[in-house]
Structure 1
Amino acid sequence: MRIVFMGTPEFAVPTLRALDHAGHTLLAAYTQPPRKAGRGKKLQSSPVQKEAETLGIEVRSPVSLKSEEERDRFAALEPDIAVVAAYGLILPQAILDIPEHGCLNVHASLLPAWRGAAPIQRSILAGDSVTGITIMQMEKGLDTGPMLATVRTPIDDKTAGELEAELAEKGAQLMVGTLRDLAIHRPIAQDDAEATHAPKIDKAESRIDWTRDAEFIERQIRAFAPRPGAFCELEGERLRILSAQVIGRQGEPATVLDEEFTIACGHAAIRPTRIQRAGKPAMDTKDFLRGKRIEPGTRLS
């Protein structure tokens, strides 16, 4: 098929790569413009742009798709279909109407659950046992279009980073299979009454509230690992907790209970297993404790 690909982060790269490997004609890769990042605030191309350039695919980075000029540029490609994976721009109806077979989206949840920008983090925070990928026919609403295919996977104790990498690969293979059998896939309408929403993560959500129960805080830590990272303050220094265990002990919330850095929560406690100090690389907690003794009774903010 003649495909326009639209995606930006690392999550989208396996799908782009799989479509190319499957022998489709990639007419162009639309992606977000380079952004300033890192300590030097240098412009950095998106992961999709880097992969597209490696594969020899034309890259386009419009700031918006709303203009008639951008619509005409898109239409001039004469795509059979557009494949979208975490692109980051809303597609106007004028764009959705151009490809003969419409626009298909790789969405990282089992729709209609977790429509929106942060389905992986929201599913972990909510304590869901299962998530997956949905291939969806795009329409004007936010992740409301009919579904063509799904694949499921258990969440278990995976972090958002681990789950994202797994779902990216599953989504790539599911999209390739969906395009191969497109004629036999019958779109299934979503039940709006069953919908839940996954708004973009606000960094303020990653601050740990030690009055919450340990099970929630452990999910919070996994949901925000590796970024933005669930955090607290220890002796005035910001500390990101990247992984932790739930421990069946009780104490005053935010209080260190023992020399293994077990921290009391509203119910039970957590024991961080991997942490990151401000401006430092991530490390195992046991290595952290070798260089910094934290006395039982110490309180965290």
Structure 2
Amino acid sequence: MFSRIKEDINSVFDRDPAARNSFEVLLNYPGLHAVWFHRISHKLWKANWKLLARFFSTFSRWLTGIEIHPGATIGRRFFIDHGMGVVIGGTAEIGDDVTLYQGVTLGGTSWKAGKRHPTLEDNVVIGAGAQVLGPITIGKGGKVGSNSVVVKDVPANATAVGIPGKIVPDKKVREENDKREQVAQKYGFDAYAVSADSPDPVAKAIGRLIDHVHLMDSRVTDLCKEINNLGGDVCSKDLPELRVGEFVEDEIAAAKRRESKVASFDPEI
């Protein structure tokens, strides 16, 4: 038991630069106190002393502001930083070296019996205020951004952010988005709406169109170079710049003209 407590205290120094010494950590980290109370209540729960187990968990909540159901399964070196407002449901499963920050909820989405709460694999980090709901799995090394609401599985080493939580694009997708942004600016589009991971179907269609236009533009450029190398003289003039704003200004002017005509219309004539 004392070796586990020492292990828990040492793990704090790896994840909290504010920790100064072991004695301070022992006395002033409610996240550790909640975990230690949970180990007692969990053993009582497994031994079918459920009322006494709930008593210990309730006392722990009163003392630390952290609510951990005695049925939850928690691995080694689990660290709750700050801790106030953390809620962990009864069928939650937490691996080794997991870190939670204040205000996190590992909750359920139904009242049906059985597995209702999340599974966090090893080395997961859940940011402050995040809600991880349902019998989902956050893969090994996964992260959830602060104040996010995650209701779907998160792959290993991925990061989910937002409401509802979405996976942050990997390097390949970011490179594709950067490429689209450059092409979109060339043709006068607002690039924020044409990213590869946009949930808007219209934005996705525009993105595909931009990809197609860019591909055709590249092929025409290559074709012009080859013809010029053979002695031809094509593509010597630059294409006129396309400005979407000009079309918008024309549309606004046309709308004002229509409003003016409507305003001047006399139905008694």
TM-score normalised according to structure 1 size:
0.24
* Higher RCO (CA-CA < 8 Å; seq separation 6+): 1
The structure richer in helix per residue is 2
The structure richer in strand per residue is 1
Larger Rg: 2
TM-score normalised according to structure 2 size:
0.26
